[in-house]
Amino acid sequence: MFKHIKNLFPIISIVVVGLLLQAQSSSSDSSGLICYVILCPLWLISIWYWWRHYYVRKGLGYSIFIGIVVFIFSGIGVGAMVLDFLYRAITGNNPEIGPCPNCGKNKIVSTNSNPQPHSEQPQCPHCKQWVGGAKYAFVQAPSQSHALQDLNEMRTKGLITEEEYQLKKEEILKRL
């Protein structure tokens, strides 16, 4: 029993690492570098081990059959990742990177498509504004958002004039 599991180890490792590569290449996360640095060498080591174990010991026909099964599952992910990397390197087109929509000074990598401020979203190092969404929609920090809501309520209730509203709004926006 253990011998059969040992024989299946290279196939299982190649498929698992390949599927991880495929999942990582399809995500728009900025942690893709982890995928290139860690998973690609693991995938190559697994292929080398499989090639040595099956091709050398079992013969060409058996290794081709196993290879087709393995590369269907894992090769697609690696291929997509490599093609995506080459496309971005050659064209310089990286849809994940854009200037800050508020100040326009810094390049920011968007890590989350949910336009709500939280820890996974990047913050502009210059103006300290939260950035989120595929089009880098401006998202206010929570404290600023609450202050603007309170100010808006005061305006709608008639507690402050329109001029006071505009002045206080500018002050709130300048705080961050």
What is the per-residue DSSP string for 43-81? HHHHHHHHIIIIIHHH-HHHHHHHHHHHHHHHHHHHHHH
Token pair of 56 as six digits: 């050398």
pLDDT at residue 135 in the model:
38
Looking at this protein, which amino acid is placed at residue 84? D
168 shares a domain with 87: no
Cα separation values, 57 from 5, 65, 96, Å:
17, 14, 46
pLDDT band, very low/low/confident/very high, at 159 (cuts 50, 70, 90) = confident
H/E stretch holding 108 reads strand 107-109
Query: Bigger pLDDT: 127 or 25?
Result: 127
Q: Are 113 and 133 in contact (CB under 8 A)?
A: yes
> Of 61, 91, 121, which residue constitutes the final position of a domain?
91
Q: Report the pLDDT averaged over residues 18-46.
A: 59
101 shares a domain with 86: no
Print the SS3 string covering 111-141: CCCCCCCCCCCCECCCCCCEEECCCCEEECC
pTM, whole model, 2 decimals?
0.26
Rounded Cα distance, 17 and 11, in Å: 10
- Helices 40-50 and 60-91 sit at what angle, rounded to 10 degrees? 160
Residue in 92, 120, 121, 122 with CA at minimum distance from that of residue 107: 122
Looking at this protein, which amino acid is placed at residue 3? K
The tokens 């089009």 sit on which residue?
135
Rounded Cα distance, 82 and 64, in Å: 23
Give the domain range for residue 114.
97-175
Q: Which of 34-43, 91-100, 109-118, 142-151 has the lowest mean pLDDT?
A: 109-118
Beta bridge partners of 135: none
pLDDT at residue 152 in the model:
80
101 shares a domain with 85: no
Q: Report the pLDDT averaged over residues 131-158.
A: 60
Cα separation values, 23 from 18, 59, 65, 76, 105, Å:
9, 32, 25, 11, 32
Query: Bigger pLDDT: 95 or 174?
Result: 174
pLDDT at residue 142 in the model:
46
pLDDT band, very low/low/confident/very high, at 169 (cuts 50, 70, 90) = confident
Is the pLDDT at 164 greater than 80? The verdict is yes
Give residue-wise pLDDT tens across range 84-133. Answer: 666 666 665 554 555 666 666 655 544 444 444 444 455 666 666 665 54
> Of 40, 61, 91, which residue constitutes the final position of a domain?
91
> Of 65, 91, 117, which residue constitutes the final position of a domain?
91
Looking at the structure of the chain, the number of domains it has is 2
